[in-house]
Amino acid sequence: MQKILKCSLFPLVILFISHNPFACFAGTESPGWLVSPELLGAGKLKMLWENKLPMKSAESLDRLLILGNRIYALSDRNYMVCLNREKGSVIFSRSVAQPGLPVVGLQLYKDELFSVIGNRLTEIGLEFGTEKNVTPLHLGITCPPARNSSFFYVAAVDRRVHALRSNDKVKLFEVAAENDSMITSIIADENFVIFATDAGNVISIAPDRPKRLWQFNAAATIAGPIVRDEKAIFVASKDTNIYKLDIRTGKLLWKYQTAAMLQKGPQLTQETLYQFAHGEGITAIEKETGKFLWQLKEGLDLLAEDKGKAYVITENSELIVMDNKKAKQLYSINFAPVSRYASNLTDSNIYIADTTGRIACLIPAD
């Protein structure tokens, strides 16, 4: 959930960067660390790099996203900066939309980003961040779009998934749940499309036609995005349950009941599922079996995982390190300056920032 900056008042004007405009502080004297090396050392972490994004005085960092080997920072004025994850160097920066327009579901597919910006399906090149294709949708969007090699799948307020051919955006078919419920999430690959609804349905269809493959029904709205593993999907429901379903058949593999109505989807790493619930914090669950591991009442979000250790940011701005196997807290670090971060579910790098545009990458010291 993190943020971006802007240096131009003119939207959709590309700013090409011929060198890194951010001062890289790692290994040099810093004008002010986001988190001091002394605090990091106490938490067995070290700084890989720290940079400063070029923010205007009235502008603030809004979102940080990890997509592939890059970090994308988006400001509250829709200025985007793309950084190399390992070095913190700038790849491109540009305005992607007028201030105030929603940027929904920035996602990576092969060598392009895609998103719904305002009411336009927008494809963005990775080299310079330039718009490659823009398609007006004339539809109100209910969740981030999905795609495979042949189609974009867009869920709209008409309670339909619209399948648009990827090369020319011609709509070939649409599909809805039998109960005509609102669609809350979509995922897609070459073999299927799966969407969830506010009535609790999880429905798999053929990728090229409105043919239902299977359907699973929970008792209440599916909250947040569907989360995919190799052979399974995981969904969180407002009926308080997390469900693990076989991705091919929709068969229930396990369910775990929490003590709260769930409002967001789970986070998945190689071995562990992490679920946030209001008033209950973060619960860690073994991914294969659905077995409870631990609960951290003050936990807000997972930042990263490393060798069985979970790095969790809390509601009172601490970083707490949990041992998953021993189900105990190892140590904590004062993260008071940190107000923006990206949840990293693929490796142990921790990406943190503040609203002014200071951004840092931390790694375990060992």
Residue stretches of the chain with pLDDT short of 50: 1-30
d(CA 116, CA 3): 18
Give domain status of residue 234, yes or no.
no
- Count other C-beta atoms under 10 Å from residue 329's C-beta: 13
Query: What is the domain-level CATH number for residue 82?
Result: 2.40.10
Q: In 3D, which of 168, 224, 214 has the Cα closest to residue 193? A: 214
If you ran DSSP here, which 8-state letter would residue 4 be given? B
What's residue 296's pLDDT? 97
Give domain status of residue 302, yes or no.
no
Establish how many alpha carbons lie within 13 A of residue 123's alpha carbon, considering only the half-sphere containing its beta carbon.
15
Evaluate whether 244 touches 290 at the Cβ level (below 8 Å): yes
d(CA 193, CA 365): 41
User: What DSSP element (H or E) covers 214?
Assistant: strand 212-217
Number of domains in the chain: 1
Evaluate whether 229 touches 254 at the Cβ level (below 8 Å): no
d(CA 194, CA 209): 13
Reported as a single tens digit per residue, the pLDDT across 2-23 is 333 333 333 333 333 333 333 3
Burial 199-208 (b: 16+ CB within 10 A, else e): bbbbbbbebe
Give domain status of residue 56, yes or no.
yes
Domain that includes residue 9, residue range: 1-16+45-118
Give domain status of residue 205, yes or no.
no
Give domain status of residue 126, yes or no.
no
Give domain status of residue 8, yes or no.
yes
| Chain center to CA of 92 | 20
Give domain status of residue 297, yes or no.
no
What's residue 18's pLDDT? 32
What's residue 251's pLDDT? 98
Reported as a single tens digit per residue, the pLDDT across 57-72 is 889 999 999 999 999 9
Q: In 3D, which of 62, 3, 30, 35 has the Cα closest to residue 362? A: 35
% of the chain beyond a pLDDT of 90: 86
